[in-house]
Amino acid sequence: MAESAKARGTGIAKRSPEYIHKKMEEGKAVIALTTEGTWVGFCYIEAWEHEKYVANSGLIVSPPFRKTGVAREIKRKVFELSRKRYPHAKIFGLTTGLAVMKINSELGYEPVTYSELTTDEEFWKGCRSCVNFEILTSKNRMNCMCTAMQFDPAEDARKKAELTKTVVTEDGHIEHHRKREFEGNFKLFERWVRFKQFVLLKGWKKKEGDSGKKPSILNFLFFW
Ligand SMILES: CC(C)(COP(=O)(O)OP(=O)(O)OC[C@H]1O[C@@H](n2cnc3c(N)ncnc32)[C@H](O)[C@@H]1OP(=O)(O)O)[C@@H](O)C(=O)NCCC(=O)NCCS
């Protein structure tokens, strides 16, 4: 996971092999394998703040199996596992990856501010090993390069009730049509994430004395 984060130039909250091992033993992990037993992918969950929150972390798919829908399937299983073990918890994840944001939004997660996430110090301690930790602390833990996405079961139930339209078809069947507001705006959301990361990174580098220059319009257009 750490090598993969390095390769794509993003940060990662490092975990020890023992920690990951424990997740597997506790049944808090989803492991994807081929029928021959080749490792394909992984993700784990952890509850925080007396089970008020559940984080989905460490998603990774083995490179030869990428872009075939494995991550989507793992995240679906992880979501089911989180709902089953902690039915009242808010489920969240922090990510810089657009693939994950897309999958999350399909599952009903919505982008939230960091203030809506757990305040459990142990969770945030995990970010100390990330290369972007200074950005997180400089923003008083209110923002960073990752986008926070959260599924709130109470909010979801309320929205489902609001957005479900009951239609009686011509042949007399009753159909319930559901509409999710967020999915239609994904392109705009992607752009917003790139812009946020651009602004955060520029601001941070400037503070570090890297350039001191204002972001140029060309840089901005590149990120947009
Ligand atoms: C990110 C990662 C988990 C995606 O796994 P995957 O199995 O290839 O993803 P899927 O095939 O299930 O793709 C799901 C969706 O994301 C899209 N997607 C996949 N990789 C993408 C990428 N690098 N950039 C943008 N979109 C991507 C797919 O096109 C698909 O959308 P579509 O169905 O609308 O076409 C995998 O590339 C990986 O392990 N990367 C390194 C570790 C990492 O970044 N983990 C996430 C940390 S939060």
Q: Domain map of the chain by residue range?
A: 2-220
Predicted pLDDT of residue 121: 95
* Residue 167, SS3 per DSSP: strand
Asked if 123 and 55 count as a contact pair (C-beta separation under 8 A), the reply is yes
* Residue 211, SS3 per DSSP: coil
Q: What is the per-residue DSSP string for 26-44?
A: TT-EEEEE-TT--EEEEEE
Beta carbon of 98 within 6 Å of any ligand 1 atom: yes
Beta carbon of 2 within 6 Å of any ligand 1 atom: no
Measuring from atom 34 of ligand 1, which residue has the nearest CA? 102
> From residue 195, how far is each of 88, 92, 223 by CA, in Å?
33, 22, 6
Question: Which CATH number does 2-220 carry?
Answer: 3.40.630.30
* Residue 137, SS3 per DSSP: helix
State the burial class of residue 192 (Cβ atoms within 10 Å of its Cβ: 0-12, 13-18, 19+).
middle
Predicted pLDDT of residue 9: 76
Rounded distance from Cα 104 to ligand 1 centre (Å): 11
Measuring from atom 46 of ligand 1, which residue has the nearest CA? 59
The H or E element that residue 125 is part of is: helix 121-125
Residue 142 to residue 136: CA distance in whole angstroms = 7
Q: For the chain, which residues score pLDDT lower than 50?
A: 212
- Which residue do the tokens 């319009």 mark? 217
Ligand 1 atom index nearest CA of 65: 7
Sign of CA dihedral 100, 105, 107, 109: positive
- Rounded to two decimals, the pTM is 0.81
pLDDT tens by residue, 91-130? 999 998 899 999 999 999 999 999 999 999 999 999 998 8
Predicted pLDDT of residue 116: 97
Beta carbon of 81 within 6 Å of any ligand 1 atom: no
Rounded distance from Cα 99 to ligand 1 centre (Å): 4
Q: At what angle do helices 70-85 and 98-107 cross, to 10 degrees?
A: 50
Rounded distance from Cα 169 to ligand 1 centre (Å): 38
Predicted pLDDT of residue 60: 94
Measuring from atom 21 of ligand 1, which residue has the nearest CA? 99
Beta carbon of 95 within 6 Å of any ligand 1 atom: yes
Residue 43 to residue 45: CA distance in whole angstroms = 7
Q: Which residue from 102, 103, 187 has its CB within 8 A of the most atoms of ligand 1, so it is best to mutate? A: 102
How much of the chain is in helix, strand and coil states, percent to nearest 5? 45, 20, 35
Rounded distance from Cα 105 to ligand 1 centre (Å): 13
